[in-house]
Amino acid sequence: MRATTAFNKILGLAGVTVVDVDINETDVVMSVRLRSRRLRCACGYRTRASYDHRPRRRWRHLDVCGRRCWLEAELRRLVCPNCGVRTEVVPFARPGARHTRAMENLVVWAAQHLDKTAAAELCRVAWETVDRIVSRVVAESLDRSRLQGLRRIGVDERSWRRRRAMTIVVDHDSGRVVWVGQGARADTLKQFFDELGPEGIAALEVVTMDMGRAYRAAVEALTPTPKICFDPFHVVALATRALDALRQRVAASLELRGTEKQALRWALLGSADHLSPAHLAALDQLRADRHILWRAWVLKEELADLYRLADPATARAYLRRWLARASRSRIPAINKVARTIRDHFEGIVTAAELGLSNSRLEGFNSKISLIHHRGYGYHSPQALAAMIYLTCGPLDLPPLWPTAPSSSINAA
């Protein structure tokens, strides 16, 4: 069997024929010829008329027996009515790429499961090349279908560099990241709604978020306005921070030793469902003294009970009773929490009734932190956004290796 015939069978690339093979100690260079007489532009335009010929161009392919493999071909240029004079695209590589689709699929898989340094070492490419390939593949795989049929979404911000943040939008039904934007302001979220369009906005039913003003203003400006749910964690955290500030102010009057102070601190900040005997002893002492910390802790736990109700339909009445007790407590820190909750009353009640939270987004934040550390930082938000879409988004990525026909498998 001739070498060119063997490599034609090994490559299995549609639309090309291997006409020559050059093998040395480190590389395998295969000269290929495009079978189609039609020239194709990246926009899809096709023609038989060529403008001129370009110098031979190379594309990096999957390694062969430990050697780097290159495909080499002579290309033509065409005159596209939409794009002007352009070099024809090849069937085995994405437009503008110098790596074949198979090679880029391998790099993307490695970047999805490894840090970029390891991915670059495994694929024997530069670190910057991994970035460019990931961005190119994500841009091709990301389409508008991910924004169709959105009913319940969650919005949160994620810092990626000092004083810089990005907005993450998650679909609660699919559990995937559907949009990433630069910045964490109302204008940033408005960009998402502009991309969603009037029909997509009309289909939105619920938006979960923290209690910041920016995202709330962007959602309230929509017509029709979807329901807003404020994340339960941030609501309970208001009371927890107020309780901790109160503890620090009155700690000196308690005359506790170091271990007792720590036990009291964790007893007050922790959940009532996960208290150790030392924590319970510290709380029992506060209850016996009818200390202000005990009353504040009870109010904090009662607020957390809003999200543990057996019948979520009673959440509105329950929260009103809690606000009445908190306002009568004569504890300034708790009174301030009550005023904040009153200002966000509808969003808090809706979250309790529907059982929605931003917990999925917080999980993605942990995963994004891992991506950020695994990449040893990112110089641009676009590169980080591409990695977020790659690992957390609804991308339909091509398989790493082509699937063999069932007949071939049975024959083997």
Do both 271 and 323 map to the same domain?
yes
Encoded amino acid at 78, one letter? L
- Give a yes or no: residue 412 inside a domain: no
Do both 348 and 362 map to the same domain?
no
- Give a yes or no: residue 408 inside a domain: no
Distant-in-sequence, close-in-space partners of 137: CB < 8 Å, separation ≥ 6: 94, 104, 105, 108, 390, 397
**Confidence band (pLDDT; 50, 70, 90) for 408?**
very low
**Confidence band (pLDDT; 50, 70, 90) for 405?**
very low
Can you give the pLDDT at residue 379? 77
Distant-in-sequence, close-in-space partners of 394: CB < 8 Å, separation ≥ 6: 146, 171, 174, 176, 177, 178
Q: What is the pLDDT of residues 80-130, one digit of tens each?
A: 999 999 999 999 999 989 999 999 999 999 998 888 889 999 999 998 899
* Candidate ranges 12-16, 115-119, 338-342; pick with highest mean pLDDT: 338-342
- Give a yes or no: residue 57 inside a domain: yes
Do both 18 and 65 map to the same domain?
yes
| Nearest CA among 255, 188, 189, 264 for reference residue 219 | 189
Domain that holds residue 23: 1-92
Q: Is the pLDDT of residue 314 over 60?
A: yes
Do both 2 and 83 map to the same domain?
yes
Do both 220 and 367 map to the same domain?
yes
- How many helices (H) and strands (E) are present in the chain, helices listed first? 16, 14
| 3-state SS string for 281-308 | HHHHHHHHCCCHHHHHHHHHHHHHHHHH
**Angstrom distance (rounded) from CA 73 to CA 352:** 63
Mean pLDDT of 193-202: 94
- Give a yes or no: residue 342 inside a domain: yes
Q: Is the pLDDT of residue 394 over 90?
A: no
CATH assignment of the domain containing 374: 3.30.420.10
Can you give the pLDDT at residue 214? 92
For residues 57, 61, 66, 67, the Cα torsion angle rounded to the nearest 10 degrees is -10
Do both 74 and 183 map to the same domain?
no
Do both 288 and 339 map to the same domain?
yes
- Give a yes or no: residue 46 inside a domain: yes
Contacts 24+ apart (CB under 8 A), 29-32: 29/58, 29/70, 29/72, 30/61, 30/69, 30/70, 30/71, 30/72, 31/72, 31/73, 32/71, 32/72, 32/73
Can you give the pLDDT at residue 293? 87
**Angstrom distance (rounded) from CA 344 to CA 338:** 10
Sign of the Cα torsion 142, 159, 370, 365 reads: negative
* Of residues 408 and 39, more confidently modeled: 39
Give percent above pLDDT 90 in the chain: 58
Query: Can you give the pTM of this predicted structure?
Result: 0.82
**Angstrom distance (rounded) from CA 286 to CA 80:** 81
Can you give the pLDDT at residue 105? 92
Mean pLDDT of 137-145: 88
- Give a yes or no: residue 223 inside a domain: yes
- Give a yes or no: residue 207 inside a domain: yes
Do both 85 and 193 map to the same domain?
no
Can you give the pLDDT at residue 257? 66
* Candidate ranges 15-29, 261-275, 278-292; pick with highest mean pLDDT: 15-29
Distant-in-sequence, close-in-space partners of 206: CB < 8 Å, separation ≥ 6: 151, 152, 153, 172, 226, 227, 228, 229, 350, 354, 356
C-alpha distances (whole Å) from 171 to each of 135, 152, 227 are 22, 6, 15
Do both 275 and 338 map to the same domain?
yes
* Domain total of the chain: 4
Can you give the pLDDT at residue 383? 87
Do both 226 and 364 map to the same domain?
yes
- Give a yes or no: residue 405 inside a domain: no
Do both 151 and 258 map to the same domain?
no
Do both 349 and 387 map to the same domain?
no
**Confidence band (pLDDT; 50, 70, 90) for 382?**
confident
Q: Is the pLDDT of residue 136 over 60?
A: yes
Average pLDDT, the chain: 88
